[in-house]
Structures are given as C-alpha cells and as structure tokens.
Amino acid sequence: MKTTPTYMSINDAAKTSGMSAHYIRDLVKANKIKHVKSGMKYLINYPKMMDYFESLENNAA
C-alpha cells in the first residue's frame, strides 16, 4: 500500500491533487491551507489541503 507523505512541496501537491501549482501557491499566500516554510520552499500539509477542498465542496452543495 502506497502512502501519501503528510508534507510535500507545492509542485508535488499539485501533481498529486490535480490542481495547479499556481492555485495552491495562492492558497498558501492567503493562509487558506496549512503549510510550513523551509528556507525558500513552502511545504504543504497534504491531508489538511484535501480537507480544505472537501469543505469547499460541502459548502457548495
């Protein structure tokens, strides 16, 4: 069974989720999704990002 890492780069999160890296970067800058900054790189908490997208989907319904 393959597991998804908890934290990943914006580009990896984009590839895994199917969202654009630009959109995810905008969400990070707006503090909409959980992340940490390591040097010049943002690391995304992938499960929290997916929770955020699910909450958007549930609110739209």
* 4-49 pLDDT, tens digit each: 668 999 999 999 999 999 999 999 999 999 999 999 999 999 999 9
Contact by Cβ (8 Å): 21, 10: yes
**How far is residue 22 CA from its own chain's centroid?**
11
34 in any annotated domain: yes
Against a cut of 0.85, is the pTM above it?
no
17 in any annotated domain: yes
Question: What is the domain extent for residue 15?
Answer: 7-60
2 in any annotated domain: no
> Sorting pLDDT into bands at 50, 70 and 90, what band is 2?
low
1 in any annotated domain: no
> Sorting pLDDT into bands at 50, 70 and 90, what band is 59?
confident
49 in any annotated domain: yes
Which residue, 21, 22, 17, is CA-closest to 49? 17
Number of domains in the chain: 1
20 in any annotated domain: yes
